[in-house]
Amino acid sequence: MHIYVGGLPAETTDEALRTMFAALGTVHSAVVVTDKKTGASLGYGFVEMPVKSEARKAVEEFRMKDLGAGPMRVRVLKSGDEFHASAVSKGNAAVHAGAKSTYRGEPGPVGAGAIRRSGKRGS
């Protein structure tokens, strides 16, 4: 299962994130998203845990826990989530290669249900 982890302190590294979740189960990968130019943490990351029961336990354990940067936001990603493409791709490269995100206020994808210029819905 792919897990989104937000509210991470700036000093959190990939290895620290992996260690934190490994205490509750098997961790396949852990990535803290960093700024492309400065290398500084953006305060969120992704963890992949192959065992669903361990992943759910980890989500409940860390949800709203405060590590110093405010309460953590932890949730299981589903295939339709905006961050899912980033979580299943190769680390930070996917995040900086144009993966769409509504997390930072960017516009989300426009679908068939979007309101068109004429004011009508649908296709």
What was the pLDDT predicted at 71?
Answer: 84
Lowest mean pLDDT among 5-9, 22-26, 61-65, 73-77: 61-65
When pLDDT is averaged across residues 74-102 and rounded to a whole number, the result is 55
* C-alpha–C-alpha distance, residues 119 and 47, integer Å: 41
Asked if the model's pLDDT at residue 67 lies above 70, the reply is yes
* C-alpha–C-alpha distance, residues 85 and 37, integer Å: 21
When pLDDT is averaged across residues 74-84 and rounded to a whole number, the result is 73
When pLDDT is averaged across residues 101-119 and rounded to a whole number, the result is 48
What was the pLDDT predicted at 106?
Answer: 43
- The position carrying tokens 């299981």 is 76
Indicate the angle between helix axes 52-62 and 14-22, nearest 10 degrees: 110
Asked if the model's pLDDT at residue 107 lies above 80, the reply is no
Tokens of 34: 């960093």
**Confidence category of residue 108, pLDDT binned at 50, 70, 90:** very low
57, with CB counted inside 10 A (0-12, 13-18, 19+), is: middle
* Of the options 3.90.1150.10, 3.30.830.10, 3.30.70.330, 3.60.15.10, the CATH number for the domain spanning 2-96: 3.30.70.330
Q: Pairing relation of β-strands 73-76 and 29-34?
A: unpaired
Asked if the model's pLDDT at residue 100 lies above 50, the reply is no
Asked if the model's pLDDT at residue 123 lies above 70, the reply is no
**Confidence category of residue 99, pLDDT binned at 50, 70, 90:** very low
* C-alpha–C-alpha distance, residues 27 and 55, integer Å: 9
**Confidence category of residue 121, pLDDT binned at 50, 70, 90:** low
